[in-house]
A = this chain, B = another copy of it.
């Protein structure tokens, strides 16, 4: 087998569309075609825990819902498109696309220099097409990869993306499946890899209809976002299949070069095979068959080295993970901030350890976690850690969403940039950082459910009630909040932004041109800290 095909969802075939949906507890599932005065439901046949069948006369573009047990009309959990939003019908999408990236192999892990961006605010259009039109700019900057914050269908038109509820459906307002494929294709033609942020620890609170089909969730574990995804309980095989299929479909149908798996500390799996290991092995195997470099990268606050240890050594074998400790060590030392989780950071020796080992907390007591925290990453190659001085969370999870560029001096910004980009780790910057964008990146949503909207608004206020906030916490539901987040790279041509931008370009050029800067092995680096002089030397 050299290719992979989705075996769930709707797939156009000769003369019709094949449907397959996991519904182990349902007594019947029908396909209801929408429009034309709603035709008679077409029954699917049970096959094990799935219902499946080919409906003739249907084709790509058709809209449909499933009818579960003859009573519940629900969109497809594996919908490839939700043209009318999270509550609307699903749409049949042809998985084929006229790719022009033949021969593309992807950027190697150690060559990743990533720019994280949010599709909705990266351009005034807020679409995949908008991003495409700025690719020349990103090439000029010199990064080797884009990382897209989650793009799948979320409620409304404004959202960071972590409230997505259709993991297979790029948001219709961003440009849907075709728009995302066109963007990836254009990136590849310019030599840019694309990494997608995927959320496997929860689904959003609005428009989640998966409950109607199967036990996708469990209340045996509590996450900050409610019930956990059922990766290890009864009937979890179907959930695991759904999630692994999701990972593979991004690589196969969308030619994605990597997945950034959101908040794995919310992924609970006590079974003998951890789902992250299964995902990574499945992606590795597909990538090998396709002859491409595809990276699986975790966001994790566990500081658990097993995440990125090879499977042969008992790890989950992910290729890399985000290293928040590096950010916290660097930014607290620069700014003197100590609120929230920064309480654990601020010393020179911590920053030195971040450079030398990666995890600053490798078993030490953490005041924030109120327990000893973490294991040591000192023995792992630096390419297993992604570092940054800004990202959507570190900017957006501040009360006002303000960026370092609105608080720090030019010299401080340059120091942060150099620390990240010339580090032995994999550098990541947040859209606009490269020229000192001062637009904030506040939290924004556009929930349709008024009760939920009020709860989110209130939750945000409560979250920062104990912080000293210089100004009003922005209302996440207000369109104005979203609008303030829009960035404008034209600023790079003006005033002090010019200097910052030139500096970032030069750092990136150095990293690309000097092989010794490209995530070397640990034994090739020495880190020396001279505290009195505030100097950390890497050689």
Which residues of A does B touch, CB under 8 Å? 219-222, 232-237, 265, 268, 270-273, 302-306, 309, 313-315, 363, 365, 369-375
Interchain CB contact under 8 A, A373 and B309: no
Q: Given contacts A272-B306, A304-B271, A305-B272, are A372 and B222 in contact (CB under 8 A)?
A: no
Residues of B within 8 A of A304 (CB): 271-272
Task: Name 9 extra pairs, CB < 8 A, besides A221-B221, A237-B365, A273-B372.
Answer: A219-B222, A220-B222, A232-B371, A235-B371, A272-B305, A272-B306, A272-B375, A314-B314, A314-B315
Interchain CB contact under 8 A, A375 and B313: no
Interchain CB contact under 8 A, B272 and A302: yes
Residues of B within 8 A of A236 (CB): 371
Residues of B within 8 A of A271 (CB): 302, 304, 371, 373
- CB A111 to nearest CB in B, in angstroms, measures 28
Instruction: Show 25 residue pairs from A and B whose CB-CB distance is below 8 angstroms, ordered by the A residue.
Output: A219-B222, A220-B221, A220-B222, A221-B221, A221-B222, A233-B371, A234-B370, A235-B370, A236-B371, A237-B371, A268-B270, A270-B302, A271-B302, A271-B304, A272-B302, A272-B303, A272-B305, A272-B306, A272-B363, A272-B373, A272-B375, A273-B372, A273-B375, A314-B314, A314-B315
Cα–Cα, bound, A234→B373 (Å): 10
- CB A318 to nearest CB in B, in angstroms, measures 14
Residues of B within 8 A of A237 (CB): 365, 371-372
- CB A273 to nearest CB in B, in angstroms, measures 6
Q: Given contacts A219-B222, A222-B220, A314-B313, are A374 and B272 in contact (CB under 8 A)?
A: yes
Cα–Cα, bound, A232→B373 (Å): 9
Closest to A236 in B: B371
Partner of A273, one of B221, B268, B363, B369: B363
Cα–Cα, bound, A86→B309 (Å): 45
Closest to A315 in B: B314
- CB A468 to nearest CB in B, in angstroms, measures 23
- CB A310 to nearest CB in B, in angstroms, measures 9
Cα–Cα, bound, A369→B236 (Å): 9
Closest to A359 in B: B272
Cα–Cα, bound, A306→B270 (Å): 11
Residues of B within 8 A of A270 (CB): 265, 268, 302
Cα–Cα, bound, A369→B235 (Å): 8
Closest to A264 in B: B270
Residues of B within 8 A of A219 (CB): 222
Cα–Cα, bound, A315→B313 (Å): 9
Cα–Cα, bound, A306→B272 (Å): 8
Sort A-B residue pairs by CB-CB distance and give the 3 closest, nearest first.
A314-B314, A234-B370, A272-B304
Cα–Cα, bound, A265→B313 (Å): 22
Residue among A221, A306, A313, A371 having the largest count of chain B Cβ atoms under 10 Å: A371
Q: Given contacts A220-B222, A309-B314, are A369 and B234 in contact (CB under 8 A)?
A: yes
Closest to A231 in B: B371
Cα–Cα, bound, A303→B232 (Å): 13
Cα–Cα, bound, A273→B233 (Å): 23
Cα–Cα, bound, A306→B369 (Å): 26
Residues of B within 8 A of A302 (CB): 270-272
Closest to A268 in B: B270
- CB A422 to nearest CB in B, in angstroms, measures 28
Cα–Cα, bound, A368→B313 (Å): 30
Residues of B within 8 A of A234 (CB): 369-371
Cα–Cα, bound, A302→B270 (Å): 8
Residue among A265, A270, A306, A309 having the largest count of chain B Cβ atoms under 10 Å: A270
Cα–Cα, bound, A365→B304 (Å): 29
- CB A122 to nearest CB in B, in angstroms, measures 34
Cα–Cα, bound, A270→B370 (Å): 15
Residues of B within 8 A of A305 (CB): 272
Residues of B within 8 A of A272 (CB): 302-306, 363, 373-375
Cα–Cα, bound, A237→B370 (Å): 8
Closest to A368 in B: B234
